[in-house]
Amino acid sequence: MKIKIGIIGGGFSGAMLARHLLNSKQNLEIYIFNNDAKFGRGIAYQAQIDSLLLNVPAGKMSAYSNQPDHFVDWLNKENKESKDEFDQKFVARNEYGCYLSEIWEETKKIAALSGHIIHPVIGKALQIIPKDGALELQTHELNLSLDFCVLACGNSLPTRPKTIAEKNFNSKRYSNNPWHIKVEAIQPDKEVLILGAGLTMVDAIQVLRANGFKGKVNCISPHGFNILPYEKPTEELPSELKFINIPIRLSEILKLFHQEMRLYPTKIADLVALLRAKSGAIWSNFTHEERDFFMRHLRHKWGVARHRIPPESYAILQDEIKNKSLQIHAGKITAMEFQESLVFVEFQERNSNKKRHLCVQHVINCTGPASDITIPNGGILNSLCQNDIIQADPLFLGVKTDVNNYQVYSKENYPIYALGNLLKGELWETTAINELRIQCEELAQVLINTFNKQ
Ligand SMILES: Cc1cc2nc3c(=O)[nH]c(=O)nc-3n(C[C@H](O)[C@H](O)[C@H](O)COP(=O)(O)OP(=O)(O)OC[C@H]3O[C@@H](n4cnc5c(N)ncnc54)[C@H](O)[C@@H]3O)c2cc1C
């Protein structure tokens, strides 16, 4: 009898997990559910326009942790450039998507040759119901009885801001999905508003311009403009942060970090990178109070140092600001009124506390993926949470999970596992390819060991 596994989400995490599960000696039947047909690509690597670049150099984007040059070699199939040239290059996200699609096609071929079966299911997985010792997975069309389920749901759509009434959610004046902006509804010259000033905002501007939008882009975020370009890491920075012992208290890290900042004032990106390499272990050992303090006081600073953009995208942004075709306001939106052809926006400026007003034709939500699974949204994570099958972590950043074996916490110890973005509350940094590829490999091994014991 084959062991039946359901993977919910067919982006990088779900597709790579399926790939590694094929190492199992037990015969498997893997059902992998994805909202669209582009298995492997997920949200990030099927960009709305081809010119959007990866935010990480190609040398760090291999899908396999034990073959660091795998992606660079794939790019350099014809050996036209030296490896070093590719290593530091920011290539197009859609090109990376082609790489992942190729791996997915190989995965299906390997499955066919090895006695495993992979069923790619295009459609939404709606609910998992524990029943008679198995897990019943429901979609609109199917009811499947499975032995194991893995939640690899990745990036959720942003939460609708409270200032946008529910009735305006589907308005042609509003794009709640920043990865699929309603460009067809945007006229070439009237102003638009972007909510949020992070990496998604940089993409949104490029999508608007590539689609012929020539008007002014306004952007409102609590902290204003704070994006930095990627810098090549300094080789062998002699920093104490390399040698910290874990567990370590947040106060000790901060003390050491400030000392190091005085020694290397221009090397903040390198210092954060040193911490980031150990961030999972550091975060896992923090108390709830330390995590909470970080979220309230340090999250933004960490994000600025850590989320860098390619120099090419930074130059585009600088030109926009210089030409005054982009204006970034630090502030908080207090009201939005949608009318047939316009949206009136009121916001409170951060520095002056004064109320300001804008009149725009379209609003794009770039506030980042939603993480609180307790908020009703019709999705599988919320229904699992409502049915008490999974729980949110105490900071509502994802799903409460044992990061030693990726099993979610549940009263009945259900064979449900999670990886990727859903582990943010447990690991904090759990979104980039170099983190996810290790999780996919480790979780596959955990599951294979479990199958062997059965
Ligand atoms: C715009 C963007 C750019 C990025 N750029 C980089 C980069 O350059 N380098 C880097 O290292 N990282 C980058 N990242 C981080 C990125 O999140 C990861 O690299 C990776 O793509 C995440 O993969 P995932 O499979 O975990 O999630 P996702 O890519 O979000 O895939 C999850 C998939 O699951 C599907 N799904 C979810 N719920 C269900 C359901 N109930 N039923 C069926 N299907 C479902 C979704 O439709 C989606 O296809 C970027 C992220 C974004 C959003």
The predicted-structure confidence for 334-374, as pLDDT tens digits, reads as follows 999 999 999 999 999 999 999 999 999 999 999 999 999 99
Q: Give the atom of ligand 1 at the shortest distance from the alpha carbon of 121.
A: 43
> Does the pLDDT of residue 77 top 90, yes or no?
no
| Cβ-based neighbours of 318, under 8 Å, separated by 6 or more | none
Any atom of ligand 1 within 6 Å of the Cβ of 55 = yes
Percent of the chain with pLDDT over 90: 88
pLDDT at 222: 93
| Cβ-based neighbours of 434, under 8 Å, separated by 6 or more | 56, 60, 61, 65
pLDDT at 257: 94
> Does the pLDDT of residue 271 top 80, yes or no?
yes
Q: Are 116 and 22 in contact (CB under 8 A)?
A: yes
Q: Is 113 exposed, middle or buried (CB count within 10 Å of its CB: 0-12, 13-18, 19+)?
A: exposed
Smallest CA separation from ligand 1 atom 24, residue: 154
Q: Are 409 and 384 in contact (CB under 8 A)?
A: no
Pairing mode, if any, of strands 117-122 and 355-360?
Answer: unpaired
Q: Are 35 and 124 in contact (CB under 8 A)?
A: yes
Instruction: Please give the sequence-ordered ranges of beta strands (E in DSSP) within 318-399, or none if there are none.
Output: 326-338, 343-349, 355-360, 362-365
Any atom of ligand 1 within 6 Å of the Cβ of 34 = yes
Q: Residue 70 C-alpha to ligand 1 middle, in angstroms?
A: 20
State the average pLDDT for the chain. 95
pLDDT at 225: 78
Q: Give the atom of ligand 1 at the shortest distance from the alpha carbon of 14.
A: 25
Specify the domain boundaries for CATH 3.50.50.60 within the chain: 3-52+92-156+370-453, 166-228+308-365
Question: Is 3.90.1150.10 the CATH classification of the domain at 3-52+92-156+370-453?
Answer: no
Smallest CA separation from ligand 1 atom 10, residue: 432
pLDDT at 81: 73
Query: What is the distance between the alpha carbons of residues 368 and 50, in angstroms, rounded to a whole number?
Result: 21
Task: Please report which residue ranges of 187-293 form alpha helices under DSSP H.
Answer: 199-210, 250-263, 268-276, 279-285, 288-293
pLDDT at 79: 67
Any atom of ligand 1 within 6 Å of the Cβ of 398 = no
Q: Give the atom of ligand 1 at the shortest distance from the alpha carbon of 54.
A: 8
Q: Residue 99 C-alpha to ligand 1 middle, in angstroms?
A: 15
> Does the pLDDT of residue 435 top 80, yes or no?
yes
Query: What is the distance between the alpha carbons of residues 427 and 381, in angstroms, rounded to a whole number?
Result: 19
Mutate to test the pocket of ligand 1, among 8, 17, 34, 101 (most ligand atoms within 8 A of CB): 34
In total, the chain counts a number of residues equal to: 454
Q: Are 286 and 251 in contact (CB under 8 A)?
A: no
Smallest CA separation from ligand 1 atom 38, residue: 153
Any atom of ligand 1 within 6 Å of the Cβ of 313 = no
> Does the pLDDT of residue 1 top 90, yes or no?
no
Any atom of ligand 1 within 6 Å of the Cβ of 128 = no
Global pTM? 0.95
Q: Are 142 and 121 in contact (CB under 8 A)?
A: yes
Any atom of ligand 1 within 6 Å of the Cβ of 154 = yes
Smallest CA separation from ligand 1 atom 27, residue: 154
Look up tokens 């997920």; give the residue: 42
The percent helix, strand, coil of the chain (3-state, each to 5) is: 35, 20, 45
Question: What are the DSSP calls for 82-111, one per residue?
Answer: -HHHHHT---BHHHHHHHHHHHHHHHHHHH
Look up tokens 């039947």; give the residue: 29
Smallest CA separation from ligand 1 atom 25, residue: 11
Q: For residue 99, which amino acid is it?
A: Y
Q: Are 192 and 217 in contact (CB under 8 A)?
A: yes
pLDDT tens for each residue of 125-157: 999 999 989 999 999 999 999 999 999 999 999
DSSP element (H, E) containing 6:
strand 3-8
Any atom of ligand 1 within 6 Å of the Cβ of 250 = no
> 245 in helix, strand or coil?
coil
Q: Residue 42 C-alpha to ligand 1 middle, in angstroms?
A: 5
Alpha carbon 79 to chain centroid, angstroms = 32
> Does the pLDDT of residue 186 top 90, yes or no?
yes
Pick from 227-241, 243-257, 352-366: least confident: 227-241
Any atom of ligand 1 within 6 Å of the Cβ of 420 = yes
Write down the CATH number for the domain with range 166-228+308-365. Answer: 3.50.50.60
Q: Are 177 and 203 in contact (CB under 8 A)?
A: no
Q: Are 239 and 259 in contact (CB under 8 A)?
A: no
Q: Are 63 and 100 in contact (CB under 8 A)?
A: yes
Pairing mode, if any, of strands 3-8 and 148-151?
Answer: parallel
> Does the pLDDT of residue 49 top 90, yes or no?
yes
Other CB atoms closer than 10 Å to residue 161's CB: what's the count? Answer: 14
Question: What are the DSSP calls for 394-420, one per residue?
Answer: TTSSSB-EETTTTEEP-TT--SEEE-G
Q: Is 148 exposed, middle or buried (CB count within 10 Å of its CB: 0-12, 13-18, 19+)?
A: buried
